[in-house]
Amino acid sequence: MHEKKFSLIEGETFTIDQLGKEIEEITGSKVTDLTGIKSRVVAQKPSPEQDFETFTIKFNLEDLPDFVDVVATTEKKENVEDYDFDKEELKVRLVSYIRQEAPKGNESEHVSG
């Protein structure tokens, strides 16, 4: 849906507030919380000595059941409490638009009957 525009911000670095505003501009929908819902990705494969930490950030969209999921990295810190998401910049790795509702009557121009 927004993949071409999302690909323009993948690989770029933003504060979480800037990232939320970029998502609003791309989707044309207001996000309910510019700071999103952050989750730490615990697995560190293939290299546990890597110097970055990976997070997923979920941005809920106002007036829509859909949301935008972002995978981003930042400099690795000792404890999760040490991260200041209001100030630190995150490198965007992947952005996905997650659609929560199936097309009406489960119809789509991409599916032939």
Domain ranges (residues) in the chain: 3-100
For the record, the structure tokens of 42 come out as: 């615990």
Cα distances (Å, whole numbers) of residue 9 to 1, 4, 24, 101: 15, 10, 13, 25
Q: How would you classify residue 28: left for phi > 0, otherwise alpha for psi between -120 and 50, otherwise beta?
A: left
Buried b (16+ CB within 10 A) or exposed e, 29-52: bebeebebebeeeeeeeeeeeeee
pLDDT range class, residue 112, cuts 50, 70, 90: very low
Q: Greater confidence, 11 or 103?
A: 11
Is the peptide bond prior to 48 cis by the omega test (within 30 degrees of 0)? no
pLDDT digits (tens, 9 = 90+) for 22-73: 999 999 999 998 778 888 776 555 566 778 888 899 999 998 888 999 999 9
